Structure 1
């Protein structure tokens, strides 16, 4: 039996390990739901952690017994001036976004993503957030649905001029 990973706030020193996690996981995790034409252009762009987000104090890593980062993810408040608000809308003090959540492809379905999201929910509530928005991959929709998110519909995420990534906008109210 494997022990539960430690969930802690990410540090700048984790950046390379988070990039490595993204690089080794996105290709495998997204293969069933996205054609090669999308994966070949999108995965290199998705596989780069955002330093400002990682060091925001609202981004977390799941660390296994060997010290390996097995998952990462966090949240950011909505609105102008935030960590590249993925859904720029009118400022809403009680709204935030789930950001760049991934579990190591070799460690899925072991509670890592759920543990990370538990930390996101707790910290966001403490900060006065009442609604979380999420731009989920097609692959992650069942995961987020199981956590109480509802599907609002498909969206195209502009990763770079001429490179869009199909995602699903989801939302969850926090009690």
Structure 2
């Protein structure tokens, strides 16, 4: 593994945005019909400014190239619960441990912050990835992206004693 995981900074925003825009269509294509992707990708394949500088969103970087990103945020109601947020690996860098390194870092930092439970809304594509990291599926869900616009996902949870 020749990359590092570090907190994202505002200057990473254009690179993360481009990574999401390039990789999500390729990674999700096998698991979602074109009718879903054409309406949802313009919304979900965009970097979230509120995440980039929050301190718990990270990038995996090799030299000056960002290979992946992802992080976590606190639950609004429970101080010991966190939510996995906007994870992506460069579609040209799969099977190198990029996603695992980011999630391992997320789990470690969340645990240090007193988090005992992590939840995520996994894409259908990423369910095996999260399961391999100890997350358990809790059923299908639809993420509302706007009036009449829904993205199919799977609610997954990891308890961290």
Map of 2:75 onto structure 1: 78
Map of 1:87 onto structure 2: none
1 CA distance for matches of 2:9 and 2:147?
Answer: 30
Q: CA deviation at 1:63?
A: 0.7
1 CA distance for matches of 2:155 and 2:128?
Answer: 13
1 CA distance for matches of 2:2 and 2:136?
Answer: 27
Map of 2:113 onto structure 1: 127
2 CA distance for matches of 1:167 and 1:145?
Answer: 14
Map of 1:58 onto structure 2: 56
2 CA distance for matches of 1:25 and 1:160?
Answer: 23
1 CA distance for matches of 2:41 and 2:61?
Answer: 23
Map of 2:40 onto structure 1: 42
Q: CA deviation at 1:13?
A: 0.5
Does residue 151 (structure 1) correspond to residue 149 (structure 2)? The answer is no
Q: CA deviation at 1:6?
A: 1.0
Map of 1:96 onto structure 2: 82
Deviations 1:23-48 (A, max 9, x none): 11000000000000001011111111
2 CA distance for matches of 1:161 and 1:53?
Answer: 24
Misfit runs of 4+, over 2 Å: none
Map of 1:18 onto structure 2: 16
Map of 1:113 onto structure 2: 99
- Where do 5+ consecutive residues of structure 1 fail to align? 80-90
Q: CA deviation at 1:4?
A: 2.6
Map of 1:86 onto structure 2: none
TM-score (ref. length: structure 2): 0.98
**RMSD of aligned alpha carbons:** 0.8
SS at match of 1:42: helix
TM-score (ref. length: structure 1): 0.90
